[in-house]
Structure 1
Amino acid sequence: MNTRDREDTLTLELLEEIGRRSDVSQRHLARRLGVALGLANSYLRRCVRKGYVKIQQAPANRYLYYLTPIGFAEKARLTGCYLQVSFDFYRRAAASCDAAFDACAAPGEGRVLLGGVSELAEIASLRAAERGWMIVGTYDSRAERERFLGRPVWREPAGIGTHDVRLLTNLADPAGCRERLGALRPAAPLLIPDILPVAGIPPSGD
């Protein structure tokens, strides 16, 4: 995601949250946006300057935030852009996963280990299911959840389920995840969708 996309996404999330709750606090906004309090405050002030948000003082030194007509229009515009980008990503990711699967001979019993919790992994699971292949789980050393797509998530190599092929789906650190997947034993084919920036680039150890 480039800087402009990141800014648009944060602005959209802020406008959506204010649209849901006028009494939202800046600390709550920071948590929902996943950013530091200072950055949330900066985005809020920017939205006020652009006329998207109106501030009204409430009792007990509190503030209420409301979307203006311009703010509602901007939220609608950003939502449309987000959906377009999402649809484009889905199409590209689906085609990329299909190409990776096509390049692999029938992988034993069709058991696939995903490498990374992500939107790409969700799309890959759908494409695998269409082929009758089964996702056994996801290997992601930085995952904060125990299960994903109804299957286990492993942060360490120990205990990873038996699988026939591995598919790299890590969007945050594809190079690092590729190294970790390649180090798993016993060895298994590693598929890399060409939508990822490491596709076609040899691992650092080669």
Structure 2
Amino acid sequence: MAKTETDSPDLDNESRITLGLLNVVHDNAATSQRSMADDLGIALGLANAYLKRCVKKGLIKVSQAPANRYAYYLTPKGFTEKSRLTAEFLSQSFNLFRRARTESAELFSQCQSLGWNRVALYGLGDLTEIMTLSARDFDIELVAVISKDTSLSDFAGLPVIHDIPRPEDIDAVIICNIVNSQESYDDACAHFPPERVLVLRFLGVSGSSGVGGNERGR
């Protein structure tokens, strides 16, 4: 699945960065700290802090290389930790997919019964892609993906727009932003009828009653 600014938090942030760092070192022992930071999408100082932490934990070994450079290697303990975190990531990703497919089917079924056939998705990420797959099983037209912080013009086969459409242009907005779901929900409710802003239960958004329901505006 595509990586975006709202990619799913399958692992807590510390574990996610640690796994990413272990993968980078495993792929290229001669990588620089700047490259590590760029690959992980984090600040150089943060990459340096995590690298030092991994060295202290005995996950990574540092060796002097020619031209005043360093080479980084995974220790046996590092390989074990990488395998453990990878297994956890895959397990949680599968659980996310399974739950999202189940709840999105319930949500689209309710939209269809209410005649809400033109729907926009709010947020870019894994959940957005899962929702586009689920929508194919229903008489639902996905109009666009809403994201205010991206330069992408399309995502998952849908046009990306920066503003929430007018109520007369679409029937409902579905929140697909896992990382900032509450913020996205509040923003959508401020610009669109709250009773037509829909959220999957597992996102745990305050003010929403879960799949296909909304406590605001009732």
User: Normalization by structure 2: what TM-score?
Assistant: 0.80
1:116 to 117, 120, 123: 123
Aligned partner of 1:17 in structure 2 is 24
Deviations 1:57-104 (A, max 9, x none): 112211011112222221111110110111111122222212222332
The alignment of Structure 1 onto Structure 2 pairs a total of residues equal to 204
Query: What SS does the corresponding residue of 2:12 show, helix, strand or coil?
Result: helix
Contact 1:55 1:66 in 2 (8 A): yes
Deviation at 1:155, TM superposition (A): 1.1
Contact 1:166 1:188 in 2 (8 A): no
Correspondence 1:34 to 2:41: yes
Distance 1:109 1:89, change over 3 A: closer
1:63 to 67, 70, 76: 70
Correspondence 1:190 to 2:197: yes
Percent of aligned pairs with the same amino acid: 37
Distance 1:187 1:5, change over 3 A: closer
CA distance in 2, matches of 1:172, 1:38: 23
Contact 1:53 1:67 in 2 (8 A): yes
- The answer to which of 154-163 and 15-24 deviates more is 154-163
Unaligned runs of 5+ in 1: none
Deviation at 1:159, TM superposition (A): 9.5
Unaligned runs of 5+ in 2: 1-7
1:72-111 matches, within 5 Å, as 72-106=79-113, 108=115, 110-111=117-118
1:46 to 50, 53, 72: 53
Contact 2:60 2:75 in 1 (8 A): yes
Correspondence 1:148 to 2:173: no
RMSD: 2.9
User: Normalization by structure 1: what TM-score?
Assistant: 0.84
CA distance in 1, matches of 2:69, 2:49: 18
Deviations 1:141-180 (A, max 9, x none): 1234221102111113479994333211122332332243
Considering Cα pairs closer than 8 Å and 6+ residues apart, tell me whether 1 or 2 has the greater RCO.
2
CA distance in 2, matches of 1:92, 1:34: 28
Query: What SS does the corresponding residue of 1:104 show, helix, strand or coil?
Result: helix
Distance 1:194 1:69, change over 3 A: same
CA distance in 1, matches of 2:132, 2:195: 18
